[in-house]
Amino acid sequence: MGNITSLRKTLNASATSKEQKLTHLPFVLKAVSLAFQHHPLLNASLHTQDPKKPELTYRGSHNFGVAVDTPSGLLVPVLKNVQDLSIVEISQQLKQLSEKARSGKLAPGDFSGGSFTVSNIGNIGGGVVSPVISEPQVGILGVGRSKLVPAFDENEVLIRQEELVLSWSADHRVVDGAECASSRAVQKKGIANLANFQVPQINNEPNKHYEKGSADREKLAAAMKSLRQRSPLEVPIVVNGKETKTANVSQQPFPMSHKDSIASWSSASASDVSASIDSALKAKASWESLPFADRAAVFLKAADLVSGKYRYDIMAATMLGQGKNAWQAEIDSAAELCDFFRFNVKYAQELYGHQPVHNSPGVWNRVEYRPLEGFVYAITPFNFTAIAGNLPAAPALMGNVVVWKPSPSAMASNWLVYQILLEAGLPKDVIQFVPGDAVEVTKTVLSHKQFAALHYTGSTAVFRSLYGQIANNVAEGKYQGYPRIIGETGGKNFHLIHHSANVENAVINTVRGAFEYQGQKCSATSRAYWPKSLWEQAKPMLIEETQKLKIGSPESFDNFIGPVIHKGSFDKLSGAIDEAKSDSELDCIVGGKYDGSEGYFIHPTIYETKNPTHPNMQKEFFGPILTVYVYDDTKNPEQAYLDICKTIDETSDYALTGAIFAQDRMALRTAEENLRNSAGNFYLNCKSTGAVVGQQPFGGARASGTNDKAGSTNLQSRFVSMRAIKEQFVNDTSVLYPSNIV
């Protein structure tokens, strides 16, 4: 019982003064309920009104009578459906029943339906007793007091051990001694499991702010300086648990000083990829058979390593390698990565807990959540270190093995994430780290018969191509099953401003949404719809706030805007700016500049257009370019608002994020209804970016992906295959059913 006591003390210490303190009894009741899933006879009722024809009824619900000592004597109200209640819920309902019993407020219904009785005699000093069965029940449990006793541990060392005295009585006409003993063993194991396998309380990782003069800023600056000095890092491929440097080596340039590289990385050949798949599949049996608590511990430890030991290193790699400023790196590579690792454990436990809600008499129904048959392929993006960590980690937590192809533009940070996972205890062959040419690696993976799932974040065009390749292979019967396809892609995310909006708030959130991390977030604001009635006020504010943004290397903490990720992105964005100069439908109101001489810098740029369906309002740039359309609300504001909602919905193929700014509640409701399918993440009076794990599950539909919602139980469910199991305890004695008998 020592583990139970330790757990109770931990939970009680964190409980508020208004919350019920936990005793031993809720754990005992839950353990008894778990034992009855294996031994339903003890939850049965024996009716002997007719001695010649006694009737034995199996009770599906675990309705436990719990004896309460009151001034007027012992009362036994019934706690119903214990099998469906959590420990905390059992505790809360026990408190309610006890208070009603002692105040004389129990109703007849509170005493009915009992299938078993638990008598808690420990609080009145009871020890070993012979509890009396209450017919028609066939069993009763007496719970005595706990006490410390001398005992020997597994090393034969004398220790003090807490012991809880439990006394069973059963009707020998139904239950023999072996059944009682077996049930008691299951209950004992259940109590131990309740104590040992509870996921620790999960909270969002607190953010650091790196204020001027703070120790955090000094440590982060030192980490960046050290990384600069050590660059380029040599990143190998990892196949069969072995690090290998190949002859084919590529570079990951610093995006703010592209003549130098932060990493040089080995590129896997087709044979390397095949070897990595074989290695992963060999590791599958041992990894998936490992208890969930052990798999969960790996990722919980990894989160603590990110939060503490490696926080500044992972941020430095993200800032220098991917061009993020300190705050953007903090909320991504530190906080969100921790959150994914921790909350996924919570979501996995919730998923495993989804079990059948009913068992017929003499039957135990249960569901097993099996890892997928085969391996998972994770293709990760450059723009979020947290997503790069989550894509291979989420399926691995569920017992899957993974082939991970990291982005060439995030190799330094991704390599560190992989090393952190290994340090946390992940077996080296569970996740194969396989950098390489995207086409060659993918071709080898998708041609393998045991390919089971794709976990992808990246461009829409690539995802559609992958989806098509997998579909063709399915049609040709190349796979042993139907691979799961999970993808989060692009967005043409909108801000809609209503005439009742707070203009300052809408402006600040629009500038942040459009230009944080240079607009390289899937959720970045790239089109905005302002009412004509507010535009004259808002326009100069947008220009002023945008012009305030300093541009340069993330190594200088006052730079808000860093470089875009690589030459391909720079060329695309600078080309768009050049094309806009001759476009009569676009008016550049701020920005429109770029400089690629040393780093890939694109100035934050805002265009105004009079064409609501201009290509700039439809095409994803994935950079710091925002286009504004001003809709006329001066004549019929309500109709104009409805019309612009329809325009927003029909203009883009994407449906990832969107935000509405209004103080008028009806305006918010109107937008929610009319833009219901226009965004998977919908924001009211805040920017279209910034989803937090555990608070806003993230993902969109239409061209934006499969909307499986990273940071949710739903995502974890995509990496398991359910098996329903029915076990019957009572033998059938006839082929015929009652309806067949005349």
- Distance (Å, whole) CA 675 – CA 672: 5
For residues 209, 212, 214 and 216, what is the CA-based torsion angle, rounded to 10 degrees? 50
Q: Helices 503-515 and 532-547: crossing angle, nearest 10°?
A: 50
Cβ proximity of 641 and 670 under 8 Å: yes
Cβ proximity of 34 and 84 under 8 Å: no
Cβ proximity of 440 and 270 under 8 Å: yes
Cβ proximity of 504 and 681 under 8 Å: no
Cβ proximity of 640 and 633 under 8 Å: yes
Instruction: Write down the catalytic residue from 205, 330, 336, 488.
Output: 488
Closest CA to 483 of 458, 444, 446: 446
Tokens encoding 512:
């942040």
- Distance (Å, whole) CA 581 – CA 601: 18
Cβ proximity of 79 and 63 under 8 Å: yes
Neighbour-count burial of 577, counting CB atoms closer than 10 A to its CB (0-12 exposed, 13-18 middle, 19+ buried) = buried
Strands 654-655 vs 701-702: parallel, antiparallel or unpaired: antiparallel
Closest CA to 63 of 126, 123, 136, 165: 136
- Distance (Å, whole) CA 385 – CA 317: 9
Closest CA to 167 of 115, 113, 122, 114: 122
Closest CA to 393 of 428, 369, 423, 418: 418
- The H or E element spanning position 571 is helix 567-580
HSE (side-chain half, CA atoms, 13 Å) at 411 = 26
Q: At 477, phi and psi to the nearest 5? A: 70, 30
Measured between its terminal Cα atoms, the distance across the chain in Å is 56
Closest CA to 718 of 454, 459, 474: 454
- Distance (Å, whole) CA 549 – CA 558: 9
- Distance (Å, whole) CA 403 – CA 48: 63
Tokens encoding 521:
């977030």
The secondary structure of 628-666 as a DSSP string is: EEEE--SS-HHHHHHHHHHHHHHH-SEESEEEEE-S-HH
Name the DSSP letter for residue 207.
P
The answer to whether 488 is a known catalytic residue is yes
CA distances to 295, 319, 359, 603, 627 from 562, rounded to whole Å, are 38, 9, 59, 9, 20
Name the DSSP letter for residue 528.
E
- Distance (Å, whole) CA 369 – CA 355: 10
Q: Which residues, 6 or more positions from 501, have their beta carbon under 8 angstroms from its beta carbon?
A: 534, 661, 662, 663, 685
SS3 call for 176:
coil
- Distance (Å, whole) CA 482 – CA 451: 9
Query: To which residue do tokens 């990782």 refer?
Result: 205
Q: How many CB atoms lie within 10 A of CB 696?
A: 15
- The H or E element spanning position 302 is helix 292-307
- Paired residues of 561 in beta bridges: 551
Closest CA to 413 of 520, 306, 561: 306
Q: How many CB atoms lie within 10 A of CB 301?
A: 17
Closest CA to 269 of 409, 408, 404, 434: 434
Residues with a known catalytic role: 488
